[in-house]
Amino acid sequence: MTTAREAAPALETPSATSRHQLVAFAVMVVFFVVAPFFIYPLFLMKALCFALFACAFNLLIGYVGLLSFGHAAFLGSAGYISAHTAKVWGWPPELAILAGTVVAGALGVLIGARPRSLTARTASRRCHEACSSAFSICAIP
């Protein structure tokens, strides 16, 4: 027969895993505070953008099991529009990033509002037809 004291779960102290996570987090914070002084800041920003992209990809494929390249389209369109508005039109970086965000949001609305008759199979077929016609036009005889 078990007593109430034996049946009750014991309060656990923080495990070694959580201590390792805290130490890793502290090292990461120190690295990101010190890194701009030793690593080229533009490279660091690009690395963080791709890390954010990888986290989104991990969330979609790893946890949800959904293979989708929609976020890649949004990231690519926002990056392209931001770079184009900053370089060609001479906009300041803040407005260029805002323009990229607006275009990515508008693209999301357009993709989300597609007719239900446009299934993945027909979208894939239309994309294949467009790409093959584009390659046939650009092909060297």
Q: Is residue 16 part of a domain?
A: no
Count of the separate structural domains present in the chain: 1
The per-residue pLDDT for range 58-91, each reduced to its tens digit, is: 887 777 777 666 777 888 899 999 999 999 999 9
Contacts of 1 (CB under 8 A, 6+ apart): none
Q: Is residue 48 part of a domain?
A: no
Q: 95: domain range? A: 59-141
Q: Is residue 134 part of a domain?
A: yes
Q: Is residue 118 part of a domain?
A: yes
Q: Is residue 43 part of a domain?
A: no
pLDDT mean across residues, the chain: 77
> What per-residue confidence (pLDDT) applies to 48?
84
Q: Is residue 31 part of a domain?
A: no
The per-residue pLDDT for range 18-45, each reduced to its tens digit, is: 888 899 999 989 988 888 888 888 888 8
Q: Is residue 39 part of a domain?
A: no
Q: For residue 11, is it left (φ>0), alpha (ψ between -120 and 50) or beta? A: beta
Confidence at 102, pLDDT banded by 50, 70, 90: very high
Is it the case that residue 130 has pLDDT exceeding 60?
no
